[in-house]
Structure 1
């Protein structure tokens, strides 16, 4: 019997995408932030983006290759801003501010239609709810959940930036299960990627791995072994309710 539903954040509970405009926006805002805090890069926007993007690529290669996550105060001086002659201690001091700015500027985010109603229905039917999210910010997921007005639906929010593990590493799922006092076989996990969400849930022997596709799905899943497939694919969050009810023999 499934009694607990855990959700991914970006691409699942919320629509998320980026484009040339969001890249320009985050570049300008980061440059402005650094200048306001007396950290001058001496770079124009194009040069700044190219250098910071080099750092991002190096970090992603390490992070995704090991399924691990560093804290913002490690990521920004060691990777993202490593090509600039800046005071590393000062960069570390403001790293979470920049991480939060990045999360809501580089990515366009908006709550998927019908999410609040679906969460309400799941709670009313007795399901326990939580979040497991990969993020390089300590607080942005909590802030965004509050802004959407859905934070109180979740008993626990487990983040890679806090645990040090990135999906699909079993560590982040194990911590979430422990915090929720839940058994894997009694949980459903809902996410938008095979490479992080479905594989992670399958390896942990969750009762169900549900996929809802997003802008990020194809980008993150290139080259993923097709043996890892979701138990069910939905078009909208509300569609998971009848599926879970059917699994539980209540449909």
Structure 2
């Protein structure tokens, strides 16, 4: 057993299933039995598929699933396959459509059969004693496990009399996400009414369990060694607090655990007084003013026409280009409006934009647009508006540079490439730390996640950040949801009356904290705040 120092006594233990509660071992003839069972099921429905062919598909699918699991462990928030996906895309992918669909119609049954026919499950040493002790001492118990059949895991636990000990069981196939997604652990602690810091998480793998425990903020992350422990699929930086040969070692860890420190609860988690924070700033309407330019649009139309000429047939290529571009712009506006109405903040990305453009056109036109969608979107983003830098922006950025306040552009846009090109034209690139663009991020403001990504890119605390935008419903609302303290809106004389009214309302209800007339005015606000903070 490896243990560097005593852990804080937990209020709950969260245990992995395989490798912790049970040790699994492969049945040598398990795949043959599963193939035979599938053959029997198919034959009863009139499908004559040889057992050897089913077995070959199972072998290929199980191998592919192994690689999929390993690659999923590299993701920060991986999702789990559905039972149908496991059958259709992996286990019986090589069979004809009819047999595939028949087997997939009972996908949950077949994933359960796979779990029990291919592997045996034996309760590990120390588990019964550990569960009894936790019950006696009022320590909560939960299971957090990647599983393609949580139902069969529950049946196994009940068959050995252990299911009654657990207050919550979280299985990936039932909740739709899988470790190392920290949400697996968060679900368990939420169900127990605790925080992650009050719980220990016990697993057997570095890439899934240790990483999940660290990302979730578990109070202790412990490994019980099994055949997978020492052979992660790739290098892992995170380390467990303890490595045990068997779960019996958890009893010793509980003996050595120290009570929660009252001093830890009193630690100051506030923002450092000297933290300069960051400036998060919108692009369109704030950094740049824009106006349509007929020459730029005509040049883009000609480029689009040249691309589509081979598929135009008897239609003049420019007419075809005008038609598909007009359709895309109209459809994009309607799609954005519909998504906004239902609270969907996903962005209409380049591929979707040009798929909308191709609606009703020939397959050749659709293929040309889809294949060039990224390049076309960048070109359209540059051509649809000509941008001029707003007065005061350069001075604001230079002030932020001088006081150590990083600048991150966070913008709803059809093309982050075009936004960066505009910043380059303005000579601002050296003053900007990062550009977080909705078409690249996948979500639009007011979704707080795009604002949080900008905060993370700045390396600042959200409580020390400023957000400068112009639209209350996007900029101020998104910043507020992300915990940004200073939410400033800029108004311009040429702005529409309804925007000014909504800005006044946002200031009145606290969505925005300040209204200013130019970006330059933000310098005075920041300077006054910094002087008060540091006095």
TM over 0.5: yes
Residue 254 of structure 2 corresponds to which residue in structure 1?
244
Q: Once structures 1 and 2 are overlaid, which stretch shifts more, 236-245 or 16-25?
A: 16-25
Q: Does 1:176 align with 2:188?
A: yes
Match of 2:96 among 72, 80, 85: 85
Aligned to 2:221, the other structure's residue is in SS state: strand
Shift of 1:39: 6.5
What is the number of residues matched between the two proteins? 246
Residue 26 of structure 2 corresponds to which residue in structure 1?
18
1:102-251 alignment to 2 at 5 Å? 102-219=114-231, 221-225=232-236, 227-249=237-259
**Residues 5-34 of structure 1: per-residue CA shift (max 9 Å, x gap):** 000001110011226433334333443444
**How many Å separate the matches in 1 of 2:46 and 2:217?**
48
Shift of 1:63: 5.1
**How many Å separate the matches in 2 of 1:41 and 1:228?**
50
Aligned to 1:10, the other structure's residue is in SS state: coil
Q: Once structures 1 and 2 are overlaid, which stretch shifts more, 82-91 or 207-216?
A: 82-91
Q: Does 1:69 align with 2:77?
A: no
Rg (Cα) greater in structure: 2
Residue 51 of structure 1 corresponds to which residue in structure 2?
57
**Structure 2 unmatched ranges of 5 or more:** 1-8, 73-77, 261-535
Shift of 1:61: 4.1
Shift of 1:62: 4.3
Shift of 1:151: 0.6
**Residues 22-62 of structure 1: per-residue CA shift (max 9 Å, x gap):** 333433344344444x27362343x4222223233444544
**How many Å separate the matches in 1 of 2:41 and 2:170?**
28
**Residues 194-246 of structure 1: per-residue CA shift (max 9 Å, x gap):** 11111110121211111111133345x13232x32211112222220220232
Assess if the C-alpha contact under 8 Å between 2:35 and 2:51 holds in 1: no
Q: Does 1:31 align with 2:39?
A: yes
**How many Å separate the matches in 2 of 1:100 and 1:170?**
25
TM-score by length of 1: 0.87
Change (3 A) 1:238 1:63: closer
Shift of 1:137: 1.5
Assess if the C-alpha contact under 8 Å between 1:72 and 1:96 holds in 2: yes
Shift of 1:178: 1.6
Q: Which has the higher contact order (CA 8 A, sep 6+)?
A: 1
Change (3 A) 1:175 1:166: same
Alignment root-mean-square deviation, CA:
2.3
Q: Once structures 1 and 2 are overlaid, which stretch shifts more, 99-108 or 19-28?
A: 19-28
**Residues 131-180 of structure 1: per-residue CA shift (max 9 Å, x gap):** 01111124111111111111110000001001111111112222222222
**Structure 1 unmatched ranges of 5 or more:** none
**How many Å separate the matches in 2 of 1:11 and 1:203?**
21
Assess if the C-alpha contact under 8 Å between 1:22 and 1:108 holds in 2: no
Aligned to 2:158, the other structure's residue is in SS state: helix
Q: Once structures 1 and 2 are overlaid, which stretch shifts more, 73-82 or 99-108?
A: 73-82
Shift of 1:64: 4.6
Assess if the C-alpha contact under 8 Å between 1:122 and 1:241 holds in 2: no
Residue 49 of structure 2 corresponds to which residue in structure 1?
42
Shift of 1:192: 1.0
**Residues 71-115 of structure 1: per-residue CA shift (max 9 Å, x gap):** 213321233212101434432321111111110111121111332
